[in-house]
Structure 1
Amino acid sequence: MVLPATSTLCNVFTFLLAGSPIFYSAAPRGSCANCCGIREREDIKFMLYTRRNRHTAQLLHLNDDGRLAQSNFNFNYPLAIYLHGFSESATGERQSSQELKDAFLRRGNHNVILIDWSAMTAVPWYSNSVENLPITARYIARFLRYLVGRGYSAKHIHLIGFSLGAEVAGFAGKQLQEWGIKLPRITALDPALPLFEGNSSNRRLSPSDARFVDVIHTDGGILGNPTAMGHADFYPNGGRPLQPGCARQEIANNRWLGILIGCSHQRAWEYFVESIAQPRGFPAKRCEPSVTFGVCRDGGNGLAFMGMGADPRLRGKFYLETNGAKPFGRNSRSQAIVSLAPQLPIAYKLPPIASRPTVQSQSQSPSVNQYGPAGQDPLQEEDENNSIDSSSLT
């Protein structure tokens, strides 16, 4: 593990944020969670959720065929894989991971894998977390290569990351391409700014990391990086603090520091989570930036949608305004879930050494779309008789 001297900037950054709303107790403060050697299997956990185990995670491990076969992972369903930010955990209530997981499972049949790397992102070890991004990313890339090697189509992997997690997603995308695998989509939610400023030697997320890289900027210049780094970069409310409603929200919760630090940053994942159910809830216009950050030179043109509904053909910078409270999206009339993902079947395959009693019934489906076999109501997908006991894999 790399142990650089913590800079003065990082010390100040950590001290200020210790009381902000984004700094949850991922590990005991002052602990040595990030001072010791990395144990990849213990420190980077792959937590699987499906509509059969919405509330209890099934742990998957790299190269563990038996565990994969016994889990509820379904080779017919798309995969959303998510990386939380600094100081968070994948299991924290009302944090980004659980909110995103719940939104995807309400949307339809998905494999949702939350990556819990909280042991490596605990307060106050921010600079160490940054130094260890490549290690984390390589392990995640190995896990995704393992799934692809067992028959899962890379075309249906959507890698999503918030803050530091967004940078890890970029590293993972680069690594996978070295192995001949290019992800179809990476969504970066307010990529982290501290220690990534200007000409930082830390590699950053870039459009080359996936076939489509979309970025949501909400806290530009504070915790979020305002630099355009995707095929499509969205700047809600100018992409900078204060995002609408943050002052009122933080004052109501007696979190005064959160007005300036935290609330605007987490708006990125809040907007995206809302867009999972409302793909057309955040209409945006293409923006030719002026010299003033976040202001369009020509007023904007060309309709697009931020978040889940972003068209992979989009290119450029996009500007939009949001509401100050839920629902955040200005276009709240779109109630139906509209999938813009390719409707391609995925052959049902299992590891060659494993078996599963439910394979026959699932493999008989004539066609598969975003939500499972054709004509099947997503809300009726759960079959208690065929469900795997989640407790056996935790």
Structure 2
Amino acid sequence: MVLPAASTLCNIFTFILAGSPIFYSAAPRGSCASCCAIKEREDIKFMLYTRQNRNTAQLLHLGDDARLAQSNFNFNYPLAIYLHGFSESATGEKQSSQELKDAFLRRGNYNVILVDWSAMTAVPWYSNSVENLPVTARYLARFLRYLIDMRYPAKHIHLIGFSLGAEVAGFAGKQLQEWGIKLTRITALDPALPLFEGNSSNRRLTPSDARFVDVIHTDGGILGNPTAMGHADFYPNGGRPLQPGCAKQEIANNRWLGIIIGCSHQRAWEYFVESVAQPKSFPAQRCESSESIGACREAGNSPSFMGMGADPRLRGKFFLETNDAKPFGKNSRPRAIVSLAPRLPIAYKLPPNATRQTFVNRWPTVSGQQGNQDETDEQEDNNTLSNNIDSFLVT
């Protein structure tokens, strides 16, 4: 029997794995990686933003070492990776993706990756979007596993999802655990309700999907799911519509339907974005066990905080009230104090086809100094380190 050439076997192996919604190629880098690239999906894009490219995304591809090396991805910075909701896109002006990206880059030195899966969440095919959820989640999990294989620590990844994106995040967390990887934190922003009611088989998000799963509920019973599904579930203003200010805001903009559909739902990401700059802007009190959302308003001990400032040790349901216009947080200041995120002492590994010169302005040198661009970034806001770094340091 005549065996196929090694390169042919490699192509067959890669084709099978690239076409699988579950696995990504684990072939030795010296063999398969040198002969053929992993097939890239055109309907799911990973868009990298850093302080060096705030407004223009750099596309990262699964298994593309050279592209990663040439990008501004910095192994010394924490990673915030975000999944938008139905009918949105990662590039939409004033939509959740761009607002969240800008908030993190104002906060400090971050890698921000926006997952653009808008081709799979287009109006009006909502049911198709729900069916596409597992495909998106598995592909995202493969991408995160690729970064981790390149020596980026899983504990510094913060996965955030809005609406349908929240369920994708939960599914991805489960898939990673099948490979022995557990994320530090998943933040779910008003997880979707339609087609996820009750014990629906579409439901994916659970507390076991990461070491800390925090959920913000703002439109429970309409577009958002009111069910507690994290370690800490926050119910601002009871977690149901109408969120304060929605009626006034939508009438002023002549969007009458938005009073019922949309405004309260998007408040989840608006609250979270505000908390990125001011982690203690949304103080919340723990609720006693109750089936009635928001019925427990008894003041507890010292307040906890919803959003970026959530303590990963929190457990249970939490209630809070917000303002009816920006700034929404009761503790928010009119002008946010932007702090510099910590530079993490993370080990790194050069891809086999990259030279050390490629990385000189992004990765630490032998002496531990950063390149000139990073020094410029530090001068841009020379403030103290954020007090809220627990979510990056939990082990």
Return the TM-score normalized by structure 2. Answer: 0.81
Summarize the alignment of residues 1-394 of structure 1 with structure 2, pairs less than 5 Å apart: 41-296=41-296, 298-333=298-333, 335-337=336-338, 344-357=344-357, 359-360=359-360, 362-364=363-365, 377=378, 379=380
1:12-33 CA-to-partner distances (Å, cap 9, x unmatched) read: xxxxxxxxxxxxxxxxxxxxxx
Distance across 2 between alignment mates of 1:366 and 1:99: 36
CA deviation after TM superposition for structure 1 residue 132, in Å: 1.6
Distance across 2 between alignment mates of 1:271 and 1:329: 7
CA deviation after TM superposition for structure 1 residue 375, in Å: 12
SS in 2 for 1:174: helix
SS in 1 for 2:59: strand
Tell me the residue number matched to 1:22.
Answer: none
Structure 1 window deviating more from structure 2 (118-127 vs 289-298): it is 289-298
Distance across 2 between alignment mates of 1:79 and 1:124: 32
Distance across 1 between alignment mates of 2:315 and 2:376: 34
Tell me the residue number matched to 2:15.
Answer: none
8 Å contact 1:90–1:114 — kept in the other structure?
A: yes
CA deviation after TM superposition for structure 1 residue 366, in Å: 6.3
1:158 to 1:367, Cα distance in 2 relative to 1, 3 A: farther
8 Å contact 2:40–2:61 — kept in the other structure?
A: no
CA deviation after TM superposition for structure 1 residue 67, in Å: 0.7
1:273 to 1:204, Cα distance in 2 relative to 1, 3 A: same
8 Å contact 1:154–1:182 — kept in the other structure?
A: yes
Distance across 1 between alignment mates of 2:134 and 2:85: 15
CA deviation after TM superposition for structure 1 residue 41, in Å: 1.3
Distance across 1 between alignment mates of 2:44 and 2:241: 32
1:117 to 1:198, Cα distance in 2 relative to 1, 3 A: same
Return the TM-score normalized by structure 1. Answer: 0.81
Alignment-mate amino acid for residue 359 of structure 1: F
CA deviation after TM superposition for structure 1 residue 290, in Å: 4.1
SS in 2 for 1:188: strand
Distance across 1 between alignment mates of 2:328 and 2:366: 38
5+ residue gaps, structure 2? 1-18, 20-38, 383-395
CA deviation after TM superposition for structure 1 residue 208, in Å: 0.2
Distance across 2 between alignment mates of 1:287 and 1:366: 50
CA deviation after TM superposition for structure 1 residue 377, in Å: 2.5
Distance across 1 between alignment mates of 2:182 and 2:120: 26
Q: Percent identity?
A: 80
8 Å contact 1:48–1:73 — kept in the other structure?
A: yes
1:9-56 CA-to-partner distances (Å, cap 9, x unmatched) read: xxxxxxxxxxxxxxxxxxxxxxxxxxxxxx961000000000000000
SS in 1 for 2:308: coil
Over the aligned positions, Cα root-mean-square deviation in angstroms equals 2.5
Distance across 2 between alignment mates of 1:342 and 1:78: 8
The structure that has the greater radius of gyration is 2
8 Å contact 1:60–1:68 — kept in the other structure?
A: yes
Distance across 2 between alignment mates of 1:337 and 1:228: 32
CA deviation after TM superposition for structure 1 residue 335, in Å: 4.6
1:159-200 CA-to-partner distances (Å, cap 9, x unmatched) read: 000000000000000000000110000000000000000121
5+ residue gaps, structure 1? 2-38, 382-394
Alignment-mate amino acid for residue 49 of structure 1: Y
CA deviation after TM superposition for structure 1 residue 157, in Å: 0.4
8 Å contact 2:150–2:348 — kept in the other structure?
A: no
Distance across 1 between alignment mates of 2:56 and 2:83: 18
Distance across 2 between alignment mates of 1:367 and 1:318: 42
Distance across 1 between alignment mates of 2:355 and 2:367: 21
Distance across 1 between alignment mates of 2:367 and 2:319: 42
Distance across 2 between alignment mates of 1:115 and 1:167: 14
CA deviation after TM superposition for structure 1 residue 124, in Å: 1.1
1:259-278 CA-to-partner distances (Å, cap 9, x unmatched) read: 01100000000000000000
8 Å contact 1:173–1:210 — kept in the other structure?
A: yes
8 Å contact 2:51–2:377 — kept in the other structure?
A: no
